[in-house]
Structure formats: C-alpha cells, structure tokens
Amino acid sequence: MDKTLHKFQLTAEQKLAARSIWENDVTVLSGPAGSGKTLTALQTFLNLRKQKHLDKIVCVRLITDTFDEHLGALPGDKDEKMLHFLGPAMDNLEQLLNPGELDYELSKNKIEAIPVSYVRGRTFVRCGVLVDEAQNMTDEMILTISTRIGLGSRMVFCGDPQQRDFRGRNGIVYASRLFEGLEGAGVIRLSKQSICRHDIIPHILDRAEMLTQVEPK
C-alpha cells in the first residue's frame, strides 16, 4: 500500500477502513458527516487499481428526491444525469486526481455511475464498487447490490445512520448486520475523531445531539 500513487493523509480509523477494503471483498463503512467514508473508499480503490487489482470504479447511488424537494427532469443522457447525483464522489475524486486525469477516467468509462435501479442483472468483475449514501436504501436494495459482486471486486457500503432521508429504512444499519462477522467482510465505524471536512462539524453534531435530547415544552 505504501508504494501507491494516490495518497491522502488518513486518520488511524480511516487507515483501518482502508486496510479492510484492501483485505476484504465487502466493507461496510459507517460514520458521521465529514468523517472521510467516501474519500477513504475512493483512495483505496485508486490504489488497488494502481496495483492492477481492479480495472474500474463503479459508484452506485439511489436516485430520488430527498427533503421533499422535487427536481424535475434533468437534462442530458443517462451518464450526464448521473453526474448531477455524483457530487460527493466527484468532490473526493477531484482531491485525488488532477483535472486531466479525472476527465480521462470519465471519458474512458474507468469511473462509472449508475442508479440502484440499473444494478439488477449486472455482475461487477474486478471493480471497486462504491455504494454511497446507503442509509437511504431499503434492505432489499442492499441485498440486491450485495449479490452483484463478481470475481476480483471490492464493494464498499458507505453511509451515516443518522442522516437518513426516509422513515422506515436505514440500509447502512442493515448492511452492518448483514456482514458483521462474515468471512471476507469487514464492518468499520468511524467516529467524530475522523472528521476532516471542517473543524466546526464535530461541534455542530454535538449541538444537534444536545437539541434532540431537549424535551419539547
């Protein structure tokens, strides 16, 4: 791992997550906002590909309106539409690749983005599969995606169980239960100590937790 090109300074917890991704077929990576879940997964995928273990990266996301927002029809073909929902992955890829590298990867389909509805029937061979915002997925979605993994692939489910947008579903919790203790799988939980997005975020989360504990008048 030390000889790889793509190296972003990781916390101790993130290093454990990277090692799990490197050594296991499936890793479930949960943690609070800004704790580097997506960044750690993508960096490790790039490192694995640099070492010729993977051929491409596939990002799977649930494509649906959240927070009661209605976005309407988005312009472009499927690939262009998907880029609108690939913000978290793209933000991290821009930290790990220079613009020319990223444009090349996208143009050569070395980085693919697909909605959950396109997963059924697929088999991901020698792919790094990032399942992002998994907390918003149903148990059935998690199970369907899990059974798409093919030979030589690594699959990572990322999510924050506290940031689900739909009542009655929390796919990252289901994924943790599904893979906990399973051979070839790892379950890693990042804490607020791994938050690297901005120093204020842990304080925001602490305040939010305190407010939810206040009894309504």
Provide the edge-to-edge strand list for the sheet that holds 185-189. 111-115, 56-61, 127-131, 154-159, 26-30, 185-189
Mean pLDDT of 176-195: 89
**Residue 71: what pLDDT?**
41
> Which residues, at least 6 apart from 47, have a Cβ–Cβ distance to it below 8 Å?
1, 4, 5, 6, 7, 22
Mean pLDDT of 64-68: 48
Burial category of 170 from C-beta neighbours within 10 Å (exposed 0-12, middle 13-18, buried 19 and up): buried
**Residue 68: what pLDDT?**
44
pLDDT band at 93 (very low <50, low <70, confident <90, very high): confident
Task: Please indicate whether residue 182 or residue 168 has the higher confidence score (pLDDT).
Answer: 182
In 3D space, the residue among 26, 65, 22 whose CA is nearest the CA of residue 40 turns out to be 22
Q: What are residue 10's phi and psi, to 5 degrees?
A: -105, 150
Whether pLDDT at 24 is above 60: yes
**Residue 7: what pLDDT?**
57
Whether pLDDT at 105 is above 50: yes
pLDDT band at 217 (very low <50, low <70, confident <90, very high): very low
Distance CA 141, CA 109 (A): 24
Mean pLDDT of 95-101: 87
Contact (CB, 8 A) for 159 and 171: yes
Distance CA 204, CA 149 (A): 37
